[in-house]
Copies of this chain bind each other. A is one copy, B any other.
Amino acid sequence: MLSTEKIIDAMSEQGLRITDQRKTLAKLFGEHSGYLSAKDVYEFMGKKYSGLSFDTVYRNLRVMQELGVLEQIVFEDGVKFKASCSEDHHHHHMICLQCEKTYPISFCPVSMADTPDEFQVVKHKFEVFGYCKDCRQPADAGLSVNPLSGHTGEH
């Protein structure tokens, strides 16, 4: 994941002005490895900047995403952001349903899925959801822990 400094450097190199708010944003994402919604970010920033407006948060999130320092993912419950991965090789993720931190998976299933030749593969998505070691749930919490019985978006 990109560090606070790398985020600031990247913004600076692209000619963006390094305002105090943007420094704080860089720090937030540089130190928080989970996903954050625009509202999360607004609430966090609001603690420091009393007159903060929502549109500036949106603008900065968008600028940072377009610049490539933030990744934007659409979850069922809305759009969320986190610092881009610094790993440069292709990989996938485990995502914790509690803290929304991500952990890399180096295995890539695409070559093993026998997609017929007449289907032109462009991109793919492989995500494993569950609870990380810090957020373990009781086994009987009503959620299956059998990897083959929990389904999301695979239909």
Q: Answer whether residue A22 sits at the interface, using C-beta atoms and an 8 A cutoff.
A: no
Of A8-16, A25-33, A42-50, A112-120, the one contacting chain B is A112-120
Residues of B within 8 A of A145 (CB): 120-122
Q: How far is the CA of A110 from the CA of B112 in the complex (A)?
A: 12
Pick the contact of A118 from B76, B125, B132 — CB < 8 Å? B132
Q: How far is the CA of A4 from the CA of B129 in the complex (A)?
A: 33
Q: How far is the CA of A23 from the CA of B110 in the complex (A)?
A: 39
A131-B126 in contact (CB<8A): no
Assess A143 versus B122: contact at CB under 8 Å? Given A84-B155, A92-B154, A112-B109: yes
Residues of chain A from 101 to 155 with CB closer than 8 A to chain B in the complex: 102-103, 105, 107-116, 118-133, 136-137, 143-145, 147-155
